[in-house]
């Protein structure tokens, strides 16, 4: 079935697209501030590297989103993303509630990272579709690049968890006060 391309520059769908673009830019900028904290809190060198590498990617995601604003002829702006704010707050709680240097903390950080990735995957996937519907094919291509990177980051976090971190955490003795 052929997708019908929106030709009007003034539609409710375009307004929604812009709103979601502003939300997504806020979320990515929040992650630029949060990923270094996650990297510092991680115990595993593999997880530290994953967060560090994703920070560089996330900085590129911010630039790409700014580029998309230009493509659609809008000023770059942000709107607070309550979903990402909540995910980041939860990640900070995990750091506060787990023992430094523990595999349990790394498991929690992986969960927090994957929650952020899954939110981004869902949002970028929807944004690619909307961009195509609105006829913003160049924007759709840019958003698709980021979508692919978010999926790769999620897969990497799963591999890190499965390759040892989860097992290590399962063998750590329970400490009083931590998730009890």
Q: Are 161 and 111 in contact (CB under 8 A)?
A: no
Q: Are 104 and 168 in contact (CB under 8 A)?
A: no
pLDDT tens track for 59-90 = 999 999 999 999 999 999 999 999 999 999 99
Q: What is the Cα–Cα distance from 36 to 140, expressed in whole angstroms? A: 29
Q: Which of 102, 94, 86, 70 is nearest to 172 (CA)?
A: 102
> What pTM was estimated for this model as a whole?
0.90
Residue 158, pLDDT > 90, answer: yes
DSSP codes joined into one string, 66-124: HHHHHHTT--------HHHHHHHHHHHHHHHHS-TT-HHHHHHHHHHHHHHHHHHHHHH
Q: Where are the domains of the chain?
A: 12-166
Contacts of 40 (CB under 8 A, 6+ apart): none
pLDDT tens track for 138-148 = 999 999 999 99
Both tokens assigned to 94: 């995990």
- 143, containing H or E segment: helix 137-160
Question: What's the CATH code, domain 12-166?
Answer: 1.20.1260.10
Question: What is the percent of the chain with per-residue pLDDT over 70, rounded to a whole number?
Answer: 92
């Amino acid at each position: 079935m052929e997708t019908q391309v929106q030709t009007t520059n003034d539609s409710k769908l375009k307004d929604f697209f812009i709103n979601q673009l502003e939300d997504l830019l806020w979320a990515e900028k929040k992650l630029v501030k949060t990923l270094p904290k996650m990297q510092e809190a991680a115990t595993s060198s593999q997880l530290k590297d994953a967060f560090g590498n994703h920070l560089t990617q996330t900085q590129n995601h911010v630039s790409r989103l700014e580029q998309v604003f230009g493509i659609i002829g809008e000023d770059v702006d942000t709107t607070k993303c309550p979903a990402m704010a909540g995910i980041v707050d939860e990640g900070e709680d995990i750091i506060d509630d787990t023992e430094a240097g523990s595999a349990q903390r790394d498991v929690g950080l992986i969960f927090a990272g994957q929650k952020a990735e899954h939110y981004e995957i869902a949002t970028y996937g929807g944004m690619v579709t909307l961009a195509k519907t609105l006829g913003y094919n160049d924007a759709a291509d840019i958003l698709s690049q980021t979508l692919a990177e978010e999926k790769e980051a999620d897969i990497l976090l799963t591999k890190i968890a499965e390759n040892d971190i989860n097992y290590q955490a399962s063998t750590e003795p329970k400490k009083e006060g931590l998730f009890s």
